[in-house]
Amino acid sequence: MKRLLMASALAGAMFANTAIAAEDLPQANDAYFLSAQQTLQQKLMEQDNTNQAKNIILFVGDGMSIPTVTAARIFEGQKRGVDGESNSLIFGQFPNVALSKTYTNDAQIADSAPTASAMVAGVKINNGTIGVSKEVSRGDCEAQKANPIKSIAAQAEERGMSTGWVSTARLTHATPAANYVHTADRNWESDSDLSDAAKAAGCPDIAAQMIAWNEGGDGFEVAMGGGRRMFIDKTMEDPEDSGKMGQRSDGRDLTKEWLKANGEGAAYVWNQEQLDKLDLTKTKKVLGLFDRSHMEYEADRAKDAAGEPSIAEMTGKAIDILSKNENGFFLMVEAGRIDHAHHAGNAARALEDTVALNDAVKEAMSKVNLNDTLIIVTADHSHTMSISGYAERGNPILGTSQGKADDDKPYTTLGYMNGPGALKDEVRSDLSNVDTTDIDFLQQALVPMSSETHAGDDVAIFAAGPWSHLFHGVVEQNFIYHVMAHASKIQDRMAAK
């Protein structure tokens, strides 16, 4: 306490000295100067939160590079009719920020499988693998069985906490799967995807592992996202898409198996109406599969035939259920389709989904107390989108920059290093009469590729709540797990149990 009082007194003296010195400067009354002085005072007043984190919420913007965050900040502000450049996303206001090094054990540029495992299990592993150690090469079923690693979700369940994962991608996709699966190949989502060698060696598919996940004796409490077809047989028609069938080839309906195993209080839902009608006073567990494959992009969600919840709505429902447990909870929320929009070279949809993630963070903050809840917002890897040119303040972030390129044609502020928007026949398209802000517009790219690639630059970590001050500087991605484990005292909880 004495140290804290001394630190506060020193901070006050520092600010007073700064203010006195500032009075003599000709820029002392400038609005930018005054705003920065106010920010300094706020920073000087901040104190580290060393409480135990009862709850942990890990938000992952899949492919949410730093340029994506910047562009989304401007985009969100411009949509609201305010100054986009000085706008702030809610997680951009978190007090603690670090950079995360995303390389993997075997790759300079990562995919989502090992990066998710790094965040939830604390080690770097090989591209294409999930929930196994670096000794496992992609596709090696025998090595998979011998080298599992344990996620923080599994540890939380063993310690009596509740667990859940929410994603706009398939629940069998790499990021959510890192919570519950051990697999040598991220593509083994259903039994039909398994290699002959994997089948012969008895390696289960990802969907089957999720349903069978029984850590702590009762498994997860919440799982909501896409990927219905991975859970039902190819002879079974999808409830939403007439004529479309499941993907499994083993005759199983994993949704029914999960309901039977979890009994009273468990609910399976596949559309917005069913989710809205859940009686949360009676519902103990929820499995929500809202699309055959990935859920809709946020920009297209309103057109979904059966109705899909937003990522914010799923996050809110998940917290309502998980927070019933007095022992606390772990929740991962993934905005999976930021990544997919970037792969398509479609910046508009990537930004819409990033803003939707921001809304989910707002929803979470309205339901928890940062005194006992650690919230982390980060990305698994980056993309090749850049922000360039000499656009004037207030220029639409999806628009063309001021001036023209050397070919005397306009160019957009946002562009990609590679992707489907690349040159055709080495001639760049003239954008003079093109609405580059249209939701379907593909930004121009340098290298022609059917799918834009990931990038290897560091991504940001934004954090608030207990022990979030440990996130500063440039850290390894697997450090995220270690902060979550330390903040929640997860090892101590095991000893107590």
Binned at pLDDT 50, 70 and 90, residue 15 comes out as: very low
**Residue 115 parent element (H or E):** helix 112-121
Structure-block tokens of residue 281 = 């006073």
User: Tokens representing 42?
Assistant: 């706020």
**pLDDT of residue 21 exceeding 90:** no
What are the start-end ranges of the H helices in 224-346?
254-262, 272-276, 311-322, 337-343
Q: Domain 55-384+460-496 is classified in which CATH homologous superfamily?
A: Alkaline Phosphatase, subunit A (3.40.720.10)
- State the virtual CA torsion across 87, 92, 93, 96 in degrees, nearest 10: -150
φ, ψ of residue 264 to 5 degrees: the values are: -60, 135
Q: If you average pLDDT over residues 272-276, what whole number do you get?
A: 97
Q: Is the separation of the CB atoms in 173 and 167 below 8 Å?
A: yes
Closest by CA to 111, choosing from 42, 174, 192, is 174
- Residue (of 82, 150, 104, 63) closest to 416 by Cα position: 63
Q: Domain spans of the chain? A: 55-384+460-496, 389-452
Q: Which helix (H) or strand (E) holds 55?
A: strand 55-61
Task: Please write the tens of the pLDDT for every residue from 23-42.
Answer: 789 999 999 999 999 999 99
The 3-state DSSP composition of the chain as helix, strand, coil percent (nearest 5) reads 35, 20, 45
Q: Per-residue pLDDT tens for 345-399?
A: 999 999 999 999 999 999 999 999 999 999 999 999 999 999 999 999 999 999 9
User: Average model confidence (pLDDT) for the chain?
Assistant: 94
pLDDT of the residue at 283: 97
Residue 168 half-sphere exposure toward CB, CA atoms < 13 A: 31
Q: Is 462 in contact with 377 (CB distance < 8 Å)?
A: yes
Residue 49 phi, psi (nearest 5): -100, 110
Rounded CA-CA distance 105/118 in Å is: 10
Whether 228 has a pLDDT exceeding 50, the answer reads yes
Type of residue numbered 288? G
In the beta sheet, which residues pair with residue 378?
60, 461
The pair phi, psi for residue 233, each rounded to 5°, is -75, 155
Residues recognised as catalytic = 112
| pLDDT tens digit sequence for 26-84 | 999 999 999 999 999 999 999 999 999 999 999 999 999 999 999 999 999 999 999 99
State both tokens at 488.
């929640």
For the segment 331-336, the average pLDDT, to the nearest whole number, is: 99
Bridge partner residues of 329 (DSSP): 162
Q: How many CA atoms lie within 13 A of 216 on its CB side?
A: 23
14 pLDDT exceeds 50? no
The number of residues in the chain equals 497
Measured CA distances, 192 to 183, 248, 290 (Å): 15, 6, 21
Query: What tens digit of pLDDT does each residue of 143-186 get?
Result: 999 999 999 999 999 999 999 999 999 999 999 999 999 999 99
**Element holding 354 (H helix, E strand):** helix 347-367
pLDDT tens-digit readout, 434-483: 999 999 999 999 999 999 999 999 999 999 999 999 999 999 999 999 99
CA distance 295 to 310: 9
Burial state string for 464-482 with b = 16 or more CB within 10 A and e = fewer than 16: bbbbbbbbeeebebbbbbe
Model confidence at 17, pLDDT cuts 50, 70, 90, reads: low
Distance separating alpha carbons of residues 483 and 469, to the nearest angstrom: 10
Mean pLDDT along residues 306-320:
98
In three-state secondary structure terms, 424 is strand
What is the C-alpha R_g of the chain?
Answer: 24
Degrees (nearest 5) of the Cα angle 125, 126, 130? 70
Band of pLDDT at residue 120, cut at 50, 70 and 90? very high
Closest CA to 328 of 155, 495, 488, 494: 488
Q: CA dist 162 to 44, 70, 378, Å? A: 36, 34, 22
